Chains A and B, each alone.
Chain A
Amino acid sequence: MKISEEILNNISSLSKIKIDEKIKSDLIKDLESILKMVEEMNKIDTSGIEPMSHPLEEADNLRKDEATDEIKRDEYQKFAPQTDDGFYLTPKVIE
């Protein structure tokens, strides 16, 4: 699979990671070599095989739907980059 600059820009935007123009061509080479290795998968016929998303068949230990004291806003906001009166601050979103 060839990765065009357009595809790279698209995944950069989807993953919200800014990519430096200077490294784009090297990065494309690396991503292409990884995808080439990954495409070995095409050698095997998987028709009729169920996808496996998880190693455990019974992984559904949901806890009781009861309020806990896990969420401690003041404590958790102590290490946030910027907060004000219990809110997380970001640059203005709506003009």
Chain B
Amino acid sequence: MWTYIVRRLLIVFPVMLGVAFMVFSAMYLIPGDAVDAMLRDTGATAEAMARLRAQMGLDQPFHVQFLRFLMVLASGDLGRSLVTGRPVADQIASQLPATIELTLAALAIAILIGVPLGVVAALRRGSWIDTSSMIVALVGVSMPNFWLGLLFILFFSLQLGWFPASGTGGLRYLVLPAVTLGFSGVAIIARITRSSLLEVINADYVRTARSKGLKPRTVVLKHAMRNAMASVMTVVGLQFGALLGGSVVVETVFGRQGLGSLTVGAIQRSDLPLVQATVMLAALAFVLVNLLVDVSYSLLDPRIRYA
């Protein structure tokens, strides 16, 4: 078990190195560099720009610049925003909590509603509950979250005035964005729970348990669920990536502070250091969560062993 975890952890490094390479190359391709962006309104002379470029090493060939980029990253210095001059690390630190709050709330909604919905649908297979929950699930995966968010604002903020339309703050500010972001997760998790439960319910050991006279409900909760959870966990891991991507949109729709709106703002304003840092952080978070999922998967499912 431990060797598996350590081995998985070790893979994170080359993957992140590759991520850094890709992000750096993408930035390198963009016309105009950091000096253009920094001195854009200052009327600086071409010589002054060349001097600053040399100072920042931007006149060096690609591989030298990439190595320098890695070294700076390794030292933990993420640089400064080209637009505001704010240290990137500070900005990320100030925006991270809001995004964590939002993604966790959305994930909680997805699991707390999705799993029971899936269980009920599986137990009552073919009933109206099953059909309607699967229709809800279909709508959920097909609905663009930015549209759902706008509909929520229209209804719950504009018409009813129950929740604020925009901003970051306490629970009142969290409800609509979290439900918006979690909605597609509800759908996906409900579907997976249902189908993996159906699979397990027909498996031999559950039949045996049933034949021993245990109530179907107990069978489901005690035996089937444990096994079904493994595939649900995998989906949760993948869902996390969707949540990270979705937070970009949802934070924009609801005017929330957070990494997503920071990323979009940085992209719109060509703020290279900020784009690099936020994108790499999203990748790191995604990779680590998937690692976590794989590890807990192996814990949940005793049949799986890793050499």
- Are A and B subunits of one complex? no
A residues near B (Cβ < 8 Å) are none
